[in-house]
Amino acid sequence: MIPAAAWLRVFAVLAAAVVVSPAAAQIPDDLSAAGTAEVTEVIDGDTVVLDDGSEVRLVGLQAPKLPLGRRGFQSWPLAGDSRDALARLVLDESVMLAYGGRRTDRHGRALAHLIRDRDHLWIQGAMLEAGMARVYSFADNRAAVPTMLDKERLARGGRRGIWALDHYAVRTPDQASEEIDSFQVVEGVVVAVRRLGNGRIFLNFGRDWRTTLSATIAPDAVALFDAADVDLRAVEGRPVRLRGWIYHHNGPSIDLTHPEQLEFPITPEWRP
């Protein structure tokens, strides 16, 4: 059962979700505008319908999921609240679409950032600041992700929205190892870095990779880390934060396809 105090924090955040903060109104420079439209429907906390009938997936966000017709699917905590928070921000509003990477997904939805016309509010930033979504990025859509991670970090530190609930809490590697088939944010110390002859790199968070989480970086992804000046060999013995879907392949695993999935929390012991 969720403690009453946690719900009170959540309700306070939801009540404030429509307030525009100066930080949320700062639109990242690495986005390209591509027209405006009116939002006529909000499907969930990261998907809307425009007046031309097209759907937009708010790229870079993962809001709590609703069933949306999926039989047997249970709503994630605060899924309805996240949808309502997005509706308060954009429903019946004119918005500008902006892009920074791949523009459509396999379902034909636009992969766009939304900026509200009347006050230039960056919607992704507002949702993250309110704690109504997590950062969920891809190798072909990395624009603005560092800024989004900063906003998520502030919301998490303030236990806003989803971050007040254990369901979305940052996991340790041991905890994440038990969360197969789920998206998680994980913090832990890299025990060992291993590179295979084919160029694939593993970040191991325990001595036994068959039972404790390991992060896998494929050779093409290693090139992206190199281009971002991230020395994966140097993370051995260091605390890191990473995010992605946990799956089982010879042990609990998470794929790192781009550098923004890997953060370096500043601790008294290590400052990157």
Bridge partners for 80 per DSSP: none
125 assigned to some structural domain: yes
Do residues 156 and 227 share a domain? no
Instruction: Specify the number of domains making up the chain.
Output: 2
Q: Is the sign of the CA dihedral 62, 63, 69, 73 positive or negative?
A: positive
- pLDDT at residue number 117: 95
Q: Is 29 helix (H, G, I), strand (E, B) or coil?
A: coil
CATH of residue 224: 2.40.50.140
164, 193, 221: which is the final residue of a domain? 164
Phi and psi torsions of 11, nearest 5° = -65, -35
Which residues, 6+ apart, have CB-to-CB distance to 229 below 8 Å? Answer: none
**What tokens does 245 get?**
């879907």
Q: Is the pTM of this model over 0.85?
A: yes
* Cα 226 to Cα 236: distance, rounded to the nearest angstrom: 16
pLDDT block averages, 10 residues each, the chain of length 272 = 46 44 64 95 98 98 91 91 98 97 95 96 97 98 96 96 98 96 96 94 92 96 95 94 95 97 72 40
Domain that holds residue 87: 4-164
- pLDDT at residue number 26: 66
- pLDDT at residue number 265: 79
Do residues 207 and 250 share a domain? yes
Do residues 143 and 126 share a domain? yes
164, 186, 209: which is the final residue of a domain? 164
**What tokens does 78 get?**
């605060």
